[in-house]
A and B are shown apart, each in its own frame.
Chain A
Amino acid sequence: MAREPFNPDLAVGGAGEPTGQRGAARRDDAARVYTVAELTRQVKDAIEAALPPTVYVAGELSNCKRHSSGHIYFTLKDESSELAAVMWRGDASRLKFKLEDGLQVVVTGSVSVFERSGRYQLYARRVEPRGVGAIELAFRQLCDKLRQEGLFDARHKQVLPPFPARIAVVTSPTGAAVQDILDTLGRRYPCATVLLYPVSVQGPGAPRSLRDALATLNRRQAEWGGVDVIIVGRGGGSVEDLAAFNDEGVARAIFASRIPIISAVGHETDVTIADLVADVRAATPTAAAELATPRAADVLEEFVFRATRLRRALRHLLELRGAQLATAMRRKPFADGAWLVRDRRDLLERQERAVRAATELRIQQIKLRVQVLLSAIHRLHPQRFVAMQWQRLAEARNALDRGLGTRIRVAERALNLADARVEQSSPRREIAALRAQLVSLVRRIALAVAQCSRRSADRLSASGQRLAALSYQTTLRRGFSITRNKRTGQVVRARADVRRGERIVTEVADGVFESRVQDEKQPELFD
C-alpha cells in the first residue's frame, strides 16, 4: 500500500471508526504527527467522553486563592493525586462558607480541558463541606472570626438597667415570640412602656430588616424619651430559619448598639451568633422579658422595706430625743415648779436676814463708835470743859470789867479833865458832845461786852447743847436750868427772847416748871 501523504484535514476523533482498515490505518499512523491543537482536542474529547457531564469529586482543599476577578482557584487533592480546580465568580458568590485550605469537601462540577493552556481542570459549580453542613461550617467560620475580633468578649457586654422605663421589642409582629414577650412584660412590670418594632426574622430581607431596626432604635431613641433595653428575637425554627441571626451584619449591629440588647432566638438549644454577641442571652422570649425587668412586686417590696426603715429610724430618733427630754425634765427646776418659788423665797429671806444682820451690825458698830466717842468726850471732862468755858467767860468778863473799869475811869478822868478844861474854857456843847460820846462809848462797850458775853454764852450754850445729849443732865444737876419759851418752844437765851407776860418753861435736873416773865429790863451790867 502506498503511503498516503499526510493530510491534516483528515479528522481523527470521535468514537473512532472500528474498521479494520481504519484501525490498521491508525496503527499505521502511530507515527502520525499531531498538531498541538489536534492532540489537545483529542484529549478534551476523550475526557468529556469518559466522564459524565457532572461529576462529584471528594478531596481536600489546598492552594485556595480568590482572584480579584472573583474567581476562586484551588487544588483538590487526596493522598496520591491532585486536581486543579476553578470556581467562577457567579458560583463562588453562592458559597455559604469560605473555601479554606484543609477543608474536606465534595465538589460538584465538570472536568474539561482548557485548550489554551492544555490543562484539564475541574470547573466547580458547587462546593459542599464534607462531614458538616455548609451552613454549619459558615457559622463556625463566622464565629471564629468574630470571636477573634473580640465581639463576644465579656468586657464588652453592657449591664441591663434595673428599672427600664422603655423596652423595645424587635421581632416579627406575627410570630409566636411577640405575644409571649408582651404578656410577660405586662404581667411582671407593666409600668414599662413597650416599643414594638416589627421586623422580618427570616428570609433574604431579614438581616437588613434587623440591622435597620437596631440602627433606628439607637439613632432615634430620644424621640421616645430614651430606650433602656432592646429584646431581639424570634420563635423556634430550622437552622435556615434562624440564618438571619447568624448574619455578620446583624451581629455587628448588635455589637455596635449603645442600648443593651437581650437576644432570644429560637429554643433553648438554638445558639446563634446574635446570642453570642448580645449583652445577655435568653433561652426563650419569655425568659428575655423576665431578664429585662424586675418583678413589680419585688420592687414594691423594696419600697415597703424602705418605708419601714424610715419609720423605724424616725421613731428611734424621736424616742432618743424624747428620752433626752424626759431626763432633762426630771432635773429639779423643771420637775418641781414649786421648788423654784420656794427656792426664790428662801433666797429672799436669806438676803433679808443678811441685810438685817448687816444693819444690826452696822448699828452696833455705830453704837460702839458712839460709846467710844462718848468715853473720849468724858475723858475730856465735859464738866471741866463747861467749867473751863464758864471760867474763861468769867475771866473774860473780869478782864472786860477791869478793862472797862479802867477805861471808864480813864474816861472819867478824861471827862473830869475835860470838864475842868471846859470850866476853864467854855463850850458846853463840846462837853455835852463828849458826854454823849462817853455815854455812847460806854453803851457800845456794854453792848460789845453783852454781845461778847452773849456770843460766849451762845457758844457755851451750843457746846452745852452739844453735850446735852450726853451730859446735860449733870449740868442741870449742877444747878443749871434750861428755859424755853412755852409758845415757841425755843430755848430762851436772851431777855429779848421773852416779853413780859410770856409763859416760859424751865427745865431743871429733875423736871420742869412754868413761870411767867415779870420784868423785862434792858440788861445793864451794873444794876
Chain B
Amino acid sequence: MTKKAPTFEEALARLEAIADDIEQGRVGLEESITRYEEGMRLIQRCRTVLTEAEQRIIRLQSDSAQEPAEGG
C-alpha cells in the first residue's frame, strides 16, 4: 500500500510548528537551520507524491455473487 509517511495532514501540522518555531526565534540559530532543512525535505517529499503520483485503481471482489448490473 502506498503509505505516505507522514500523511499530508501530519506534514502540514509539522510545517506549521517548524515555521512558528523559527519565526518566534524559539530555537537557536543552528537548530533553526536544522528544522528548516527538515521542513524543506518534508515539503519536497509531499510535492513529489503530488506531482509524480499515478492513479492506482484496485478492483475489489464483492463477497457475494451479484446479478449483472443493468443500466447505471
Bound-state Cα–Cα, A185 to B8, Å: 17
Bound-state Cα–Cα, A302 to B58, Å: 29
Q: Mark B30-58, 1 if CB is under 8 A from A, else 0.
A: 00110010011001001101110111111
CB distance from B45 to the nearest CB of A (A): 10
Contacts of B46 in A (CB 8 A): 299, 303
Q: Which of A163, A186, A198, A310 contacts B9 (CB 8 A)?
A: A163
Bound-state Cα–Cα, A478 to B56, Å: 134
CB distance from B13 to the nearest CB of A (A): 11
Bound-state Cα–Cα, A313 to B71, Å: 57
Contact status B58-A194, CB under 8 Å: yes
Contact status A186-B55, CB under 8 Å: yes
Q: Taking CB as reference atom, which chain A residue is nearest B9?
A: A163
Q: Which of A234, A309, A310 contacts B72 (CB 8 A)?
A: A234
Contact status B4-A310, CB under 8 Å: no
Contact status of A300 and B50, CB under 8 A, knowing A200-B66, A209-B62, A216-B62: yes
Q: Taking CB as reference atom, which chain A residue is nearest B60?
A: A197
Bound-state Cα–Cα, A3 to B47, Å: 114
Bound-state Cα–Cα, A162 to B69, Å: 32
Bound-state Cα–Cα, A431 to B32, Å: 125
Q: Mark B4-40, 1 if CB is under 8 A from A, else 0.
A: 1001110010010011001101000100110010011
Number of A-B contacts (CB under 8 A): 153
Kindly state whether residue A424 has any CB partner on chain B within 8 Å. no
Contact status A205-B19, CB under 8 Å: no
Contacts of A316 in B (CB 8 A): 23
Contact status B50-A201, CB under 8 Å: no
Contact status B19-A191, CB under 8 Å: no
CB distance from A317 to the nearest CB of B (A): 6
Q: Which of B3, B18, B47, B70 contacts A202 (CB 8 A)?
A: B70
Kindly state whether residue A320 has any CB partner on chain B within 8 Å. yes
Contact status of A209 and B66, CB under 8 A, knowing A224-B58, A300-B47: yes
CB distance from A121 to the nearest CB of B (A): 40
Looking at A168, A200, A208, A303, the one whose CB has the most chain B CB atoms below 10 A away is A303
Bound-state Cα–Cα, A162 to B33, Å: 30
Q: Which of B3, B15, B23, B72 contacts A175 (CB 8 A)?
A: B72
Q: Taking CB as reference atom, which chain B residue is nearest A219?
A: B63
Bound-state Cα–Cα, A233 to B8, Å: 27
Contact status B22-A317, CB under 8 Å: yes
Q: Which of A174, A192, A309, A314 contacts B33 (CB 8 A)?
A: A314
Bound-state Cα–Cα, A95 to B62, Å: 31
**CB neighbors of B among A451-477 (8 A):** none
Stretch at the interface among A109-117, A176-184, A274-282: A176-184
Contacts of A234 in B (CB 8 A): 71-72
Q: Which of B3, B23, B43, B59 contacts A196 (CB 8 A)?
A: B59
Bound-state Cα–Cα, A302 to B53, Å: 17
Q: Mark A425-456, 1 if CB is under 8 A from B, else 0.
A: 00000000000000000000000000000000
Contacts of B53 in A (CB 8 A): 190-191, 296
Contact status A175-B69, CB under 8 Å: yes
Q: Taking CB as reference atom, which chain B residue is nearest A298?
A: B50
Contact status A191-B15, CB under 8 Å: no
Contact status A314-B36, CB under 8 Å: yes
Contact status of A320 and B50, CB under 8 A, knowing A202-B69, A203-B67, A310-B40: no
**CB neighbors of B among A288-320 (8 A):** 296, 299-300, 302-303, 306-307, 309-311, 313-314, 316-318, 320
Kindly state whether residue A87 has any CB partner on chain B within 8 Å. no
Contacts of B25 in A (CB 8 A): 317, 320
Contact status of A194 and B55, CB under 8 A, knowing A237-B71, A317-B25: yes
Other A-B contacts than A203-B67, A205-B66, A321-B29, 19 sampled, CB-CB below 8 A, are A165-B2, A165-B7, A177-B72, A182-B57, A190-B55, A193-B2, A194-B58, A195-B58, A196-B59, A196-B60, A199-B69, A202-B71, A206-B69, A209-B66, A216-B63, A306-B43, A313-B22, A314-B36, A318-B29
A interface with B by C-beta (< 8 Å): 161-163, 165-166, 168, 171-178, 182, 185-186, 190-203, 205-206, 208-209, 212-213, 216, 224-225, 234-235, 237, 241, 296, 299-300, 302-303, 306-307, 309-311, 313-314, 316-318, 320-321
What are the 3 A-B residue pairs with the smallest beta carbon separation, nearest first? A175-B72, A191-B53, A225-B1
